[in-house]
Chain A
Amino acid sequence: MISAKSNVYGILMILEGVMVLVPLALLPFYPGDAVYLPFFAVPGGVSILLGRLLFFRRKTLAAVFEERESSRVVLFAWGYGFLLAALPFLGLRDYRFTQILFESVSGLTTTGLSVLDVERMAHIYLFYRSFLQFMGGVGFVMMILVFIQDKDSMEMYSAEGHPDKLMPNIGMTAKVILLMYGGFLGVGTILLRLGGMTLFDSVIHAMCALSTGGFSNRAASIGAYHSIRIELVTVLLMLIGTTNFAALLLLLRRKFRQFSRVSEIRFLAVLVALFVPVMTLFLTYQNGYGISESLRLSFFNAFSALSTTGYATCDYSTWGAGAIGVMILLMLIGGGAGSTAGGIKLSRVYLVLRSFFYQVKRRFMPERQIQNLYYVKPIEGRVKIQGQPLEEAGTYMGMYLLLYICGTLLLTLTAGCSLTDAMFEFASALGTVGLSIGVTGPAANDATLFIEIAGMLLGRLEIFTVFLGIVGLRKRIKRF
């Protein structure tokens, strides 16, 4: 039925339709939730049908490539996904459409900010929210690549923000990534179950930790369990989620030495070693927690922010500005490139920092002396730092921070909160983290939610793709 000749938009619609139908598998276990059946079955069914109908318009993948619209395909996949994924939430009658859309965007971008009341939500919706994050973590394009590979697959793959090739074949790469992702889900669920969660909670939390999403079925998030074992397992899963898939593959192949040489991994270790003690210090002196208490808090929350997951073990509104500042910094830096995490990405920050130190050092070097800078990538090995990647990293970082400032200021305007709160909240949205200091919640107004939706979108698809898609769309409209 589905082949490389099928319409790529149709394939995406079918895939996303199936995604909406998956939670129905839970009905045998929670028969009481059957009242919500139509809210899942109708959007899912219609989407699959529409997608199938699109196949009759013979616009093949090859044609898409010729028009250079791979970033538009990616934008469509996500835009359509957000709308479709919002529809089942209509079954919860007490919410405005903006709130529902916000939840769907927050899910698929693996952010984890929530405006719904999770404590009294049906199981099927709890599962559905987490499943959205699990799917959003790897991306739609990655998933269709398992089924079809064509001329422009590679372009769409990189347009969706996956920088790495793991295997000498793009289809294999997608398969290996999905296999690892599924495998870690199994392991994570078992570990959380052993940690003392119920099976349902384990599945949900494993899905959301791996995708660095951070939805929980408790309002107090992981903090509700008061269990150090669960916290440790969650940190492990978040760490896996934020590690580049290529580096994870090195681990699975037991190439530990190569793994430990990867620049991103080293940088991550340095950041953690630096900021966990700093945060502990701030928490002890500014908030008056005991040493062990603040160590535990900063360990978990630093990982939660850096991995852009957004699980919380406490209420941040009581924290002092120092610790909040460290959290914001970590959220902005974000996780590894080519993982499910958001933020500026470790590799970009690393490149910019290395380049900065080199510039300083060069002032003191003889004019004609040249020094080559290298950084280590998981697959390619040692790569020279130069030209395009460096330029890209610098531009991205600058643009990211500009957008961050704009969004923060807008948020102070719409939500009427302090600058610190707005900074925390928008760093959380733009980095697809999902920690909240209290600005986002059932009481938040539509303007606030839309600003955060924009932030989450830009953060997940990595700014460039969004702008490429919009520019392409504008050109097309001009032609008519």
Chain B
Amino acid sequence: MNLFGKKEKNAYIIIAGCGRLGAGLAASLSLKKKDVIVIDEKEEAFRKLAASYGGLTMCADAADLGKLTDAGIQRADVFIAVTDKDNTNIMAAQLVRQLYGVRHVLVRVYDEEKIRLLAGTGIEAFCPAELSEKEINRYMNWEDEDED
């Protein structure tokens, strides 16, 4: 209950892609009282959002500059690109980073090779396959054996 107290700036997060990851992320961030907007091409995608989701949704192409402006990209602190298309993710991230200088840009890229495209841009990229591999190695302690 902080009505008139100190006004701290709430992180404004734009999530592109309302798939399983995007929807889950949006719902949990919204519960943490962050400002969230989710963008997806298909209206039906928003059905995956939990009923408790209290943020905004927008039906648009994630790489559409005009729509990103409508979504308030100038004010955004975090941009997370998690659509199912690597190229869309990378392009949207580059647009957002280079034109608007959003501070934190995170991208999911399925194809490990493409991560190289983002080297030196300040965009944080992660690859599900690579992460899974790491997790499996961690679980089986295989990495330690390598060093021996």
- Pick the contact of A154: B10, B36, B54, B57 (CB < 8 A): B54
Least distance between B100 CB and chain A CB atoms (Å): 17
State which residues 76-135 of B face A: CB under 8 Å: none
Q: Choose from A146, A151, A155, A169 the contact partner of B3 (Cβ within 8 Å).
A: A146
Tell me, in angstroms, the Cα distance from A152 to B3 when the chains sit together. Answer: 21
- Given A152-B52, A381-B70, A384-B43, CB of A168 within 8 Å of CB of B37: yes
Docked Cα-Cα span, A169 to B54, in Å, equals 6
The tally of CB-CB contacts under 8 A between chains A and B is 58
- A88 interfacial contact with B, CB 8 Å: no
**Surface stretch bound by B, among A92-100, A112-120, A170-178:** A170-178
State in angstroms the CA–CA spacing of A147 and B33 once bound together: 12
Interface string of A153-183 (1 = CB under 8 A from B): 1110100000001011111110000000000
Min CB distance B125 to A, Å, is 25
Find residues 168-207 in chain A having any chain B CB closer than 8 Å to their own CB: 168-173
Chain B contacts for A286, CB-based, 8 A: none
Residues of chain B lying within 8 A (CB to CB) of residue A420: none
Give the residues from 99 to 154 in chain A that come closer than 8 angstroms, CB to CB, to chain B.
146-154
| Bound: A168/B54 CA distance, A | 7
Asked if B52 and A154 make an inter-chain contact with CB atoms under 8 angstroms apart, the answer reads yes
B140 within 8 A of A: no
B residues near A171, Cβ cutoff 8 Å? 33, 54
Contacts A381-B70, A384-B43; A154 near B1 (Cβ below 8 A)? no
Q: Are A153 and B1 in contact (CB under 8 A)?
A: no
Least CB distance from A169 to B in Å reads: 5
CA distance in complex: A410, B51 (Å): 39
- Tell which of B3, B33, B51 touches A149, judged by Cβ atoms closer than 8 Å: B33
The answer on a CB contact under 8 Å between B56 and A151 is: no
B58 interface contact, C-beta 8 A: yes
- Assembled-state Cα–Cα distance A368/B51 (Å): 37
A169 and B1 contacting across the interface, CB-CB below 8 Å: no
Q: Does A2 contact B (CB under 8 A)?
A: yes
A168 to chain B, nearest CB (A): 4
Contacts A154-B52, A165-B54, A169-B55; is A2 near B1 (CB within 8 Å)? yes
User: For the complex, what is the distance from the CA of A362 to the CA of B42, rounded to whole Å?
Assistant: 26
Given A3-B1, A151-B31, A170–B54 Cβ distance below 8 Å?
A: yes
Report how far A101 CA is from B53 CA in the complex, Å. Answer: 37
* Size bracket, chain B contacts: 20 to 34
Chain B residues with Cβ below 8 Å from A381 are 70
Residue A316 CB within 8 A of the other chain? no
Report the minimum CB–CB distance from A45 to chain B (whole Å). 21
Residue-wise, chain B 37-81 has the 8 Å CB interface mask toward A (1 for contact) of 100000100000001111111110000000000101000000000
A67 within 8 A of B: no
Tally chain A residues at the interface, Cβ within 8 Å. Answer: 27
- Enumerate B4-56 residues with CB–CB distance to A below 8 Å: 10, 12, 30-31, 33-37, 43, 51-56
Contact A153–B54 (Cβ < 8 Å): yes
Residues of B within 8 A of A379 (CB): 56
Which of A65, A147, A152, A167 lies at the interface centre, i.e. has the most chain B CB atoms within 10 A of its CB?
A167
A169 touches B52 (CB 8 A): no
Q: In the assembly, what is the distance between CA of A149 and CA of B32, in Å?
A: 9
Per-position 1/0 for A51-65, Cβ under 8 A of B = 000000000000001
- Cβ-neighbour of B55 out of A3, A155, A168, A380 (below 8 A): A168
CB neighbours (8 Å) of B31 from chain A are: 150-151
Q: With a CB–CB cut-off of 8 A, which chain B residues contact A155?
A: 51-52
Are B35 and A169 in contact (CB-based, < 8 A)? yes
Closest-CB distance, A144 to chain B (whole angstroms):
11
Q: Looking across the interface, which residue of chain B has its beta carbon closest to that of A1?
A: B1
Q: Which residues of A contact B (CB under 8 A)?
A: 2-3, 65, 146-155, 157, 165, 167-173, 379-381, 383-384
What are 27 A-B contacts defined by CB distance under 8 Å? A2-B1, A3-B1, A65-B52, A146-B3, A147-B3, A148-B1, A152-B51, A152-B52, A154-B51, A154-B53, A155-B51, A155-B52, A157-B54, A167-B35, A168-B37, A168-B55, A168-B56, A169-B30, A169-B33, A169-B34, A169-B35, A169-B55, A170-B30, A170-B54, A170-B55, A171-B54, A173-B54
B residues with a Cβ closer than 8 A to A are 1, 3, 10, 12, 30-31, 33-37, 43, 51-59, 70, 72
